[in-house]
A and B are shown apart, each in its own frame.
Chain A
Amino acid sequence: MSGGSDSIRTPLARARGLGSARDGVGRWVALRVSAVANVFLIVWFVWFTLNAVGADYIQFSYHLGHPFNAVAMILFTMSAFWHAAIGMREIIEDYVECEALRIGALIMLYMIIFALGVTCIFSVLKIAALYGFNG
């Protein structure tokens, strides 16, 4: 019979896909990389929010419209939302037993994350276009 790394497994076990998933390191890395990025971005976000407290609409728009803040806000949105998506995915995978519900929930999760994320980026770009340096 053919050798290779699976030589001690029966053909039936291989066909059923039993054993390790042999996949998932990318997600592990993405969670950590987004976590490290979040550490820096959260420092900025707290500073940004404290400056926004008590600001009226025009002040806030110029605050967010500043290119540095607009870019940081978009980066924060992307990193935090991706990190949240991975974390929520792990929670759904751990606790939803019914396979149909689990797959449905995962699909809904990614749809919601992307819908909210793109909405945030669109909002920031709109404000930056109107209240940026040359807006």
Chain B
Amino acid sequence: MTTAPVKTVSAKDRSRPLSPHLQIYRPQITSVLSITHRMTGLALSIGIVFFVWWLIAAAAGPESYALFLAFCGSGFGQFLLFGWSLCLFYHLASGIRHLFWDVGHFLDLKGAYVTGYLVLAFTVLATAALWGWVWCVR
């Protein structure tokens, strides 16, 4: 018996409707923190360009570095830096949570919820501490 060639059908080719998923499944701390971990990772990767600029500006000389500092001090620059640090602290805490899962801890529902709230608390506290220091103390 000859078999027909394997043909993959992408979602776009379907004439049948998909089952509802995102529009019907209630957001929970497990799923929301998971996708946020990915999104903050993406945001951090894009923000790496800023970090590269910092080092290039420093290597290039005082004028380049002054331009970089001016951008950092601007409202838009502060907004970007604040956002990047928020993503960093979230991704750091959520990443450590993942590492605990990798060795088998906190995989039950209660553990996932408690560590989930800890991740959110750390994110808020660390960001507040950092920027409180930068804006108020320094």
Cross-chain contact of B55 among A54, A80, A88, A123 (Cβ < 8 A) = A123
* Residue A101 is within 8 A (CB to CB) of chain B in the complex: no
* Residue B107 is within 8 A (CB to CB) of chain A in the complex: no
* Residue B42 is within 8 A (CB to CB) of chain A in the complex: yes
Complex CA gap A60/B52 in Å reads 15
Among A1-9, A19-27, A32-40, which stretch is in contact with chain B? A32-40
Cβ-defined contact, A32 with B10, below 8 A: no
Cβ-defined contact, B59 with A122, below 8 A: yes
Q: A123 and B58 in contact (CB under 8 A), knowing A54-B138, A57-B66?
A: yes
Cβ-defined contact, A84 with B44, below 8 A: yes
Complex CA gap A124/B56 in Å reads 9
* B55 proximity list for chain A (CB < 8 A): 73, 119-120, 123-124
What count of chain A residues pass the 8 Å CB interface test? 31
Cross-chain contact of B41 among A54, A87, A123 (Cβ < 8 A) = A87
Cβ-defined contact, A88 with B62, below 8 A: no
* Residue A100 is within 8 A (CB to CB) of chain B in the complex: no
Cβ-defined contact, A32 with B99, below 8 A: yes
Cβ-defined contact, A126 with B10, below 8 A: no
Give a binary string over A48-62; 1 marks a CB under 8 Å from any B CB, 0 the rest.
001001100100110
Cβ-defined contact, A120 with B65, below 8 A: no
* A50 proximity list for chain B (CB < 8 A): 130, 133-134
What count of chain B residues pass the 8 Å CB interface test? 30
* B65 proximity list for chain A (CB < 8 A): 57, 60
* A46 proximity list for chain B (CB < 8 A): 130
Cross-chain contact of B6 among A16, A81, A84 (Cβ < 8 A) = A16
Complex CA gap A117/B45 in Å reads 12
A86's nearest neighbour on chain B, judged by CB, is: B41
Cβ-defined contact, B42 with A127, below 8 A: no
Cβ-defined contact, B48 with A116, below 8 A: yes
Cβ-defined contact, A64 with B102, below 8 A: no
Please name the 10 residue pairs, one residue from A and one from B, whose CB atoms are nearest each other, closest first.
A123-B59, A123-B55, A57-B62, A84-B45, A126-B59, A87-B41, A57-B65, A116-B52, A120-B55, A88-B45
**A–B pairs, 5, beta carbons within 8 Å:** A35-B99, A42-B88, A57-B62, A64-B58, A124-B59
Sample of 7 further A-B pairs with CB below 8 A, known A46-B130, A123-B59: A35-B98, A60-B65, A88-B41, A120-B55, A122-B59, A123-B55, A124-B59
